[in-house]
Amino acid sequence: MKLPLFPLQTVVFPGGRLPLRIFEQRYLAMIKDAIAADTPFGICAIREGEEIGGGAVPHPIGTLVQIIEWDMPETGIFHILAEGVSRFRIGGTETRADGLLIGEVEILESEAAIPVPAHLELTAEILRHIVEEVGGEHFGRQRFGDAVWVGYRLAEVLPLPLAERQKLLESSDTEARLTLLAEYLRKQIN
């Protein structure tokens, strides 16, 4: 499947929400098309290059996102709220004349929900406290018993380097992801 790509200095996980302010012409056109046709686009962390101006090279694994809210408070600026749907792998890219990156992508199979293992319950408890502090409206439907959901949400909210977030997105091993996050939390607590 061909998909417009939006390389950013961030990682979006399936089920995660990302507010964006869109002002570059190529992305304004992409967002207008996505809203008009109710179609998704891809967000990928930048491996090389810059966010603004073109030439960014994305990591090979990104997230398909859907626009769930949008507003145009002034001409030439979109405010959107995008929600992650599923992960994808980029097979190849081409750059359109306007600078928009188009990827040939393969949608990756979603991880099946599994219960949070007993030895990793700390991760769900810490996430529960974070959600209460920040506000549940930022997290969509909450599923503290689902290890996939807990791992993705912790990976979003913890102050991890971009490269670490990307590794967590690329991993298809739910328990390994949660174990890495639990180790990070234990280091922060001690």
Cβ–Cβ under 8 Å, residues 42 and 103 = yes
9-39 residue pLDDT tens: 999 999 999 999 999 999 999 999 999 999 9
- pTM for the model stands at 0.91
> Is pLDDT at 3 greater than 80 in this prediction?
yes
Q: Kindly indicate the confidence band of residue 183, based on its pLDDT and cuts at 50, 70 and 90.
A: very high
Cβ–Cβ under 8 Å, residues 153 and 16 = yes
Rounded CA separation 92/39 (Å) = 20
Distances from the Cα of 106 to the Cαs of 59, 80, 139, in angstroms? 14, 25, 26
151-172 residue pLDDT tens: 999 999 999 999 999 999 999 9
| DSSP line for 28-82 | HHHHHHHHHHT--EEEEEEEES-SSSS--EE-SEEEEEEEEEEEEEETTEEEEEE
Residue 162: in which H helix or E strand, if any?
Answer: helix 162-170
80-110 residue pLDDT tens: 999 999 999 999 999 999 889 999 999 999 9
